[in-house]
Amino acid sequence: MLTVREIIGNTPIFAGLEENELQQIEDIVVIRNYKKNMIIFMEGEPGEALFFIISGKVKVYKLAEDGREQILHILKEGDVFAEVVFIDKGNYPATAQVLEDSQIGLIRNDDFERLVRENPDIALSLLRVMTYRLRQAQIQIRDIALRDTYGRVASMLLMLAKEHGLTCAEGIKIDLSLSRQELANLIGTTRETVTRVLSDFNKSNIIRLDRQVITILDEKKLRSWM
């Protein structure tokens, strides 16, 4: 079983830090265990900390006025989230919920600010995370505005494969157990539409469906729908 120090050292944002610097982080990090579907924080609550995933998966989403979810990110081990509240000192701009039993590390904003002042490389790593998230958001906006539902589903599957894919004999297995509704919430459409498109891709041998597990069989054909 990994020690807290080893867990911190394996988190990309802290990669390359010296042993004494990892010790500083260990002194201020709080580790919490969450059961599947538990809420980490709610949109609008005071932003008090930056979080990173030690194990498990987390979805970050906003609620529309009609109560529908718009999923912004699906995050995995090593990912950082709620970094924006460290920058703007505001409320959490979205809700974070674990998709499976997860272990989450958190560093309170005041402690993290002291850490960044002493280790500027961490600020650079955080900037890279925020830039990547901005690019993802731009892609999602573009897809919703310009692509039809087949193109949006194809783009979503390729994005999930990049972030959560496992290479297997048949292709790329997306290592996520998402409901059809959650998939729909990722691209801003209905569950029925996603189900229909996935079924068509399955019949065309572009993907294989095994309950909630999706395997991409023909990446080239899937890209042709974009």
- Claim to verify: residue 36 and residue 90 sit in the same structural domain: yes
Domain that holds residue 9: 4-142
CATH number at residue 132: 2.60.120.10
Q: Give the residue from 79, 109, 142 where a domain finishes.
A: 142
Q: Give the residue from 142, 173, 202 where a domain finishes.
A: 142
- Claim to verify: residue 26 and residue 125 sit in the same structural domain: yes
Q: Give the tens place of pLDDT for each residue, 21-31.
A: 888 888 899 99
pTM of the full structure: 0.83
Q: Give the tens place of pLDDT for each residue, 102-159.
A: 999 999 999 988 888 888 888 787 788 888 888 887 777 777 767 899 999 999 999 9
- Claim to verify: residue 17 and residue 105 sit in the same structural domain: yes
Q: Give the residue from 142, 165, 200 where a domain finishes.
A: 142
Closest to 166 (Cα-Cα) out of 157, 158, 174: 174
| Neighbour tally for 45: CB within 10 Å | 12
